[in-house]
């Protein structure tokens, strides 16, 4: 049987490469599908926050297929390259952005060992490739040959180069606690109940989570930091001149990197793929076996990432956009010193906590305090009944003498 | 030729081609875009060799920092929409001579250096997943001794035993250099800021 044995010989040699291609396909499918989901979610979330319904017709009651309709529309749109644009740079801009966002997924573990490439320095790799994403946006903005796009690209460059610094420093804080840059390793250390999560480890990691999440929102150029697009000032910022498929690719990249930073946040701070409700030392694999347990891990991880993306949308549609100088001051005057202080603080804490064991009580205090606060907020939100205003809407100007249909003054 | 070698040649070819394009292109931002592919290709070769820490550093420093600053600088300083450079024939000739000289020096050094024969299969570089390269790098900063290379040193004459290495911690020099860079940064920001006299309307 020489033929079969030689086939298996080649199979053995080629299998890792086939596996690599397969995992890349799975990852890019996941990234694009979740982008489709996020676009729908963004429409629905923004609509609910603005007291609207959002898409309701395409694909049933909740407008599930709205994004597919959008995508179809964008695909058949005319592809315009402005006369003033530099065609080569204009073309490659979106692809560089998408490649940067996608490469980050290679090192992102979705479960215990469910990762395309278990890099030893996964978090550093992710930060590095995500910094290439902005280069595509800057190129696109520059090459459009339009002033709006140029301003958008310049703002993007200034903003991201500044926000990368506190983002990287606040990433080092949990890395110091975990003692590893391997994301799988960091995830494994948070097995068991939720007070094992690094965010509750000490006050410094707790603050570092908020600093990181703010910087991550800014580096995905999401509102209130979306100065690169700033519709109210710059028409559409860096993508003013883009239409159709290239515009779509920019947004795929944005939603992809939103999930990537949310994934980083949930692994570094929020327990990664652990549900946080199991007793110490237990994880899903011990409960349900390797395969099914890891399946639950992946589901938990994706839900956590989606929740953080939802929080980003919630923030976007709640807070007004900052001015560009306010964005820079937020970073350079507040977030940067804060992250440096947290870095020094967590280093001191690690040295001191080794001596004083009672300091670990802070861990439980933080965990249960946050749980109580979260529960209280959910209770308040659920207990408050939503009432549609029967009187003058807050903020509306009463017009003397003319009571509109919605204005029913009561004596 | 196994797949790894094929990947190496593909990456090396792309890197070389885009490096040539960097030089040939006259538009500054276009050559910055080509430089992106060059630097990315070099980072890819680092990843292929299992030096993932160096590869990621290459990306974060050069692509995320320097290239963005190049384009940012062009955006801030350009007079017209797209900046092009006119290179005269004399400049071409000089740079060709200098480039060829440098290339021949590097080629000679690369050809004459005694490369360790089993480097490709050394267990440290077998896989990015099991390799502890970044850990060793960190340990070297702290002066931990096991990191001195067990294999033949490249560039060291064959047959001779390399001298016993002293335990050296690089952490302090590294920190001094980084503090020095920080001082330079603050100085540059101080010099570059807009001067405003006291009492003048802002």
Q: How far is A390 from B18, CA to CA, in rounded Å?
A: 66
Distance from the Cα of A122 to chain B's closest Cα (Å) equals 9
Structure tokens at A333: 């005057």
Q: Report the pLDDT value the prediction gives residue A411, as an integer from 0 to 100.
A: 46
Which has the closest alpha carbon to B134: A119, A115, A173, A185?
A: A119
Please report how the helices B3-24 and B28-48 are oriented relative to each other, as an axis angle in degrees rounded to 10.
160
| Any B CB within 8 A of A88 CB | yes
| Any B CB within 8 A of A84 CB | yes
Q: Which of residues 5-24 of B touch A (CB under 8 A)?
A: none
C-beta neighbour count of A66 within 10 angstroms = 20
Burial degree of B21 (CB within 10 A; 0-12, 13-18, 19+): middle
Q: Are A217 and A314 in contact (CB under 8 A)?
A: no
Could you give all domains of chain B from N- to C-terminal order, each with its CATH number?
1-86 (1.20.120.1200), 117-202 (no CATH)
Q: Which of residues 142-161 of A touch B (CB under 8 A)?
A: 142-143, 145, 150, 153-154, 157-158, 160-161
Query: Residue B30 and residue A86: Cβ atoms within 8 Å?
Result: yes
Question: What are the CA-CA distances from residue B121 to residues B2, B43, B165 (Å)?
Answer: 13, 20, 25
Structure-derived torsion over alpha carbons of residues A274, A280, A284, A287, reported in degrees to the nearest 10? -170
Distance from the Cα of B105 to chain A's closest Cα (Å) equals 32
Long-range contact pairs involving A12-16 (C-beta distance under 8 Å, separation at least 24)? A13/B2, A13/B3, A14/B3
Q: Which of residues 141-180 of B touch A (CB under 8 A)?
A: none
Nearest chain B alpha carbon to A89: B30
| Any B CB within 8 A of A89 CB | yes
Query: Residue A13 and residue B3: Cβ atoms within 8 Å?
Result: yes
Query: Residue A120 and residue B131: Cβ atoms within 8 Å?
Result: yes
Please, which residues have CB within 8 angstroms of residue A119's CB and are 6 or more apart in sequence?
Answer: A107, A125, A182, B52, B128, B129
Q: Report the pLDDT value the prediction gives residue A181, as an integer from 0 to 100.
A: 84
pLDDT tens-digit map of B38-68:
998 999 888 888 778 888 888 888 887 788 8
Q: Report the pLDDT value the prediction gives residue B16, as an integer from 0 to 100.
A: 92
Which has the closest alpha carbon to A329: A222, A204, A218?
A: A218
Q: How far is B64 from A132, CA to CA, in rounded Å?
A: 5
Q: How far is A257 from A45, CA to CA, in rounded Å?
A: 19
Query: Residue A96 and residue B36: Cβ atoms within 8 Å?
Result: yes
Which has the closest alpha carbon to B119: B28, B49, B22?
A: B49
Long-range contact pairs involving B190-194 (C-beta distance under 8 Å, separation at least 24)? none
| Residue where the block lists tokens 């965010």 | A199
- Mutation test of the interface with chain A: which of B33, B124, B132, B135, choosing the one with the most A Cβ atoms within 10 A? B33
Whether omega before B163 lies within 30 degrees of 0, making that bond cis, reads no
DSSP 8-state code for residue B94: H
Residues of A in contact with B82 (CB under 8 A): 86, 145
Question: Average pLDDT, whole number, for chain B?
Answer: 76
Phi and psi angles of residue A114, each rounded to the nearest 5 degrees, phi first: -85, 80
Q: How far is B144 from B125, CA to CA, in rounded Å?
A: 20
Q: Which of residues 71-130 of B touch A (CB under 8 A)?
A: 71-72, 74-76, 81-82, 128-129
pLDDT (tens digit, 0 to 9) for every residue of chain A, 411 residues total? 445 556 666 666 777 778 888 888 988 898 888 888 898 888 888 888 887 887 888 777 787 888 888 888 888 888 888 888 788 888 888 998 898 888 889 888 888 877 877 878 888 889 888 888 888 888 888 888 788 888 888 888 888 888 888 998 899 999 988 888 888 888 888 887 888 888 888 888 889 999 999 999 888 888 788 877 777 777 777 888 888 888 888 888 888 889 999 999 999 988 888 887 877 777 777 777 778 888 888 899 999 999 999 999 988 888 888 888 888 888 888 888 899 899 989 888 888 887 777 777 888 888 888 889 989 988 888 888 776 666 666 666 666 555 554 544 444
Which has the closest alpha carbon to A279: A198, A193, A368, A364?
A: A193
- Tell me which residue in A118, A120, A145 faces B132 most closely, judged by beta carbons: A120
- Tell me which residue in B53, B76, B81 faces A84 most closely, judged by beta carbons: B81
Structure tokens at B181: 């860079």
Q: Which of residues 49-68 of B touch A (CB under 8 A)?
A: 52-53, 55-57, 59-60, 63-65, 67-68
Q: How far is CA A204 from the centre of its chain?
A: 22
pLDDT tens-digit map of B88-128:
888 889 989 999 999 999 999 888 877 666 555 545 455 55
Q: How far is A343 from A341, CA to CA, in rounded Å?
A: 5
Q: Are B14 and B40 in contact (CB under 8 A)?
A: no
As a whole number of Å, the end-to-end CA separation of chain A is 98
Q: How far is B150 from B118, CA to CA, in rounded Å?
A: 12
Q: Report the pLDDT value the prediction gives residue A1, as an integer from 0 to 100.
A: 44
Q: How far is A378 from A382, CA to CA, in rounded Å?
A: 6
Burial degree of B80 (CB within 10 A; 0-12, 13-18, 19+): exposed
Which has the closest alpha carbon to A49: A333, A377, A312?
A: A312
Query: Residue A88 and residue B33: Cβ atoms within 8 Å?
Result: yes
Phi and psi angles of residue B27, each rounded to the nearest 5 degrees, phi first: -80, 125
Burial degree of B96 (CB within 10 A; 0-12, 13-18, 19+): exposed
Give bridge partners of residue B84 from the DSSP assignment.
Answer: B27
pLDDT tens-digit map of B154-196:
555 556 665 555 566 777 788 888 889 888 888 887 787 766 6
Give bridge partners of residue B27 from the DSSP assignment.
Answer: B84
Q: How far is A174 from A343, CA to CA, in rounded Å?
A: 9
Query: Residue A121 and residue B82: Cβ atoms within 8 Å?
Result: no
Query: Residue A154 and residue B76: Cβ atoms within 8 Å?
Result: yes
- Tell me which residue in A14, A132, A138 faces B71 most closely, judged by beta carbons: A138
Please, which residues have CB within 8 angstroms of residue A378's CB and are 6 or more apart in sequence?
Answer: none
Query: Residue B63 and residue A135: Cβ atoms within 8 Å?
Result: yes
Q: How far is A109 from A301, CA to CA, in rounded Å?
A: 9
pLDDT tens-digit map of A354-391:
777 777 788 888 888 888 998 998 888 888 877 666 66
Query: Residue B30 and residue A96: Cβ atoms within 8 Å?
Result: no
Higher-confidence residue: A332 or B129? A332
| Any A CB within 8 A of B29 CB | yes
| Any B CB within 8 A of A135 CB | yes
Q: Report the pLDDT value the prediction gives residue B116, as an integer from 0 to 100.
A: 63
Phi and psi angles of residue A111, each rounded to the nearest 5 degrees, phi first: -160, -175
Q: Are A265 and A212 in contact (CB under 8 A)?
A: yes
């Amino acid at each position: 049987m020489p033929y079969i044995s030689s086939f298996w010989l080649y199979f053995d040699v080629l299998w890792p490469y086939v596996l690599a291609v397969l995992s890349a396909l799975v990852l890019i499918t996941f990234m694009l599908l979740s982008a489709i989901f996020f676009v729908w979610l963004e429409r629905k979330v923004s609509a609910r926050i603005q007291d609207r319904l959002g898409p309701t017709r395409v694909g049933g009651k909740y407008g599930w297929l709205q994004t597919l309709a959008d995508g179809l529309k964008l695909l058949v749109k005319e592809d315009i390259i402005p006369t003033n644009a530099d065609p080569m740079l204009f073309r490659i801009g979106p692809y560089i952005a998408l490649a940067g966002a996608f490469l980050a997924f290679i090192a992102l573990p979705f479960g215990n060992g469910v990762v395309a490439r278990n890099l030893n320095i996964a978090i550093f790799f992710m930060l590095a490739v995500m910094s290439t994403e902005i280069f595509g946006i800057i190129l696109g903005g520059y090459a459009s040959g339009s002033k709006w796009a140029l301003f958008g690209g310049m703002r993007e460059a200034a903003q991201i180069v500044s926000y990368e610094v506190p983002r990287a420093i606040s990433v080092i804080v949990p890395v110091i606690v975990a003692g590893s840059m391997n994301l799988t390793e960091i995830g494994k250390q948070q097995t068991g109940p939720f007070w094992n999560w690094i965010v509750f480890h000490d006050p410094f990691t707790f603050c570092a989570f908020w600093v990181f999440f703010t910087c991550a929102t800014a580096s995905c150029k999401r509102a209130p930091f979306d100065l690169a697009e700033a519709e109210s000032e710059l028409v559409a910022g860096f993508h003013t001149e883009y239409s159709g498929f290239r515009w779509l690719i920019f947004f795929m990249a944005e939603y992809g990197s939103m999930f990537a930073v949310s994934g980083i946040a949930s692994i570094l701070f929020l327990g990664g793929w652990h549900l946080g409700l199991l007793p110490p030392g237990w994880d899903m694999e011990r409960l349900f076996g390797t395969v099914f347990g890891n399946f639950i891990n992946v589901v938990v991880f994706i839900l956590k990432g989606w929740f953080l993306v939802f929080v980003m949308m919630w923030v976007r549609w709640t807070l007004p956009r900052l001015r560009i100088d306010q964005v820079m001051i937020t970073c350079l005057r507040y977030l940067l010193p804060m992250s440096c202080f947290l870095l020094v603080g967590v280093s001191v804490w690690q040295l001191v906590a080794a001596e004083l064991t009672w300091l670990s009580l802070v861990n439980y205090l933080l965990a249960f305090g946050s749980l109580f606060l979260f529960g209280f907020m959910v209770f308040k939100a659920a207990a408050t009944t939503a009432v549609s205003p029967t009187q003058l809407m807050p903020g509306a100007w009463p017009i003397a003498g003319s009571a509109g249909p919605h204005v029913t003054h009561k004596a | 030729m196994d797949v790894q070698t094929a990947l190496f040649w593909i990456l090396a070819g792309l890197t070389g081609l885009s490096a040539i394009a960097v030089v040939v292109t006259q538009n500054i931002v276009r050559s910055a875009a080509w430089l992106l592919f060059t630097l990315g290709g070099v980072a890819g070769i680092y990843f292929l060799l299992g030096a993932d820490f160096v590869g990621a550093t290459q990306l974060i420093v050069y692509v995320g920092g320097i290239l963005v600053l190049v384009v940012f600088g062009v955006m801030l300083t350009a007079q017209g929409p797209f900046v092009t450079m006119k290179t005269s024939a004399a400049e071409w000739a000089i740079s060709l001579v200098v480039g060829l000289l440098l290339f021949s020096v590097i080629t000679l050094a690369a050809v004459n250096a005694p490369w360790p024969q089993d480097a490709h299969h050394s267990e440290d570089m077998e896989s990015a997943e099991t390799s502890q390269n970044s850990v060793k790098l960190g340990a070297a900063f702290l002066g931990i001794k096991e990191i001195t290379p067990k294999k033949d040193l490249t560039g060291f004459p064959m047959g001779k035993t390399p001298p016993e290495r002293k335990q050296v911690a690089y952490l302090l020099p590294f920190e001094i250099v980084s503090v020095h860079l920080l001082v330079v940064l603050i100085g540059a920001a101080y010099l570059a800021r807009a001067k405003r006299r006291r009492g003048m309307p802002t």
